């Protein structure tokens, strides 16, 4: 007989199995005490997660998103469809909640938050917000990915994984507006070494000129002198537009 997996147990608790499959799980659980214990742990975990509010955008995140999207629309000179986070169907919501639960467990395991109910609530908020952010990052629409950056403003701390995700968007997203939104989110953490490394890395990866200007301005604001060699390379690069080289020259004067 095919062994019962954790996925089988999760689907059983979620009511996703056929009558025949459910009977197979019940029979296996009845004969296996370890499987019974695992089922109970999953049941308790799901009950705790389902009792929490579904991850949603805060009013502040909504406002930031609308401001960023309006700026992007004005810059592009064209209308962009507003993105909203709609309620997920039960199956997808269930998967999201279970993913959030897994994230919470990983946070505790890493020693991020320990202690009483207040700490557990903070960990739950962190996991739920990160889950929502990751959902939006995967969307094909630039407006949704911009919204992912605004969600990050609701995180209570400079979460390393979120910083890495924002850095990925800054360095690789095909939309300059998404990159600018990610940079705006990263600017909140000027004292985080990981953020500074991400900005320097982005400078070295030939970003669009509009992003390059903002990166230069941000690194000057951070008084990050390690950008000086990058600036000198830009000053000496005849292939770059004159405004870019002039901006690099001005930034170099400010940092020296």
Q: What six digits make up the tokens of 189?
A: 């953490």
Which among 13, 46, 45 is positioned nearest to 29, based on CA atoms?
13
pLDDT for the residue numbered 7 = 73
Alpha-carbon separation of residue 76 from 69, 132, 207 (angstroms) = 10, 27, 18
Q: Mean pLDDT over all residues of the chain?
A: 75
Q: Is 175 left (phi over 0), alpha (psi -120 to 50) or beta?
A: beta
Please report which confidence band the pLDDT of residue 81 belongs to, taking 50, 70 and 90 as the band edges: very low
- Distance, CA of 140 to CA of 98 (rounded, Å): 24
Which of the 8 DSSP states describes residue 86? Answer: P
- Asked if the model's pLDDT at residue 232 lies above 60, the reply is yes
pLDDT for the residue numbered 79 = 42
Let me know: does 25 contact 9? Beta carbons within 8 Å.
yes
- Distance, CA of 30 to CA of 88 (rounded, Å): 34
pLDDT in tens, 165-192: 899 999 999 998 889 989 999 998 888 9
- Distance, CA of 252 to CA of 230 (rounded, Å): 10
pLDDT in tens, 20-77: 999 999 999 999 998 888 888 778 766 655 554 444 555 555 565 556 556 655 655 5
pLDDT in tens, 84-94: 444 444 444 44
Q: What is the pTM of this model?
A: 0.58
């Amino acid at each position: 007989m095919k062994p019962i997996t954790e996925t089988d147990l999760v689907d059983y608790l979620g009511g996703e199995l056929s009558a025949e499959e459910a009977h197979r799980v019940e029979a296996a659980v009845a004969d296996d005490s370890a499987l019974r214990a695992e089922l109970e742990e999953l049941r308790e975990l799901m009950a705790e997660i389902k009792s929490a509010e579904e991850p949603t955008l805060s009013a502040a995140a909504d406002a930031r998103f609308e401001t960023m999207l309006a700026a992007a629309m004005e810059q592009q000179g064209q209308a962009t469809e507003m993105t909203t986070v709609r309620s997920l169907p039960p199956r997808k919501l269930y998967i999201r909640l279970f993913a959030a639960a897994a994230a919470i467990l990983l946070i505790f395991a890493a020693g991020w938050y320990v202690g009483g109910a207040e700490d557990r609530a903070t960990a739950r908020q962190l996991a739920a917000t990160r889950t929502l952010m990751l959902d939006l990052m995967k969307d094909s629409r630039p407006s949704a990915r911009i919204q992912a950056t605004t969600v990050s403003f609701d995180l209570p701390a400079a979460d390393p994984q979120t910083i890495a995700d924002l850095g990925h968007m800054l360095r690789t997203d095909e939309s300059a507006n998404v990159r600018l939104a990610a940079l705006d989110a990263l600017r909140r953490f000027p004292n985080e070494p990981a953020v500074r490394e991400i900005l320097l890395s982005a400078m070295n990866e030939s970003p669009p000129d509009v992003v390059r200007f903002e990166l230069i301005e941000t690194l000057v604001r951070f008084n990050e002198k390690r950008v000086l060699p990058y600036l000198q390379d830009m000053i000496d690069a005849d292939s770059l537009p004159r405004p870019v080289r002039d901006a690099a020259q001005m930034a170099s004067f400010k940092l020296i």
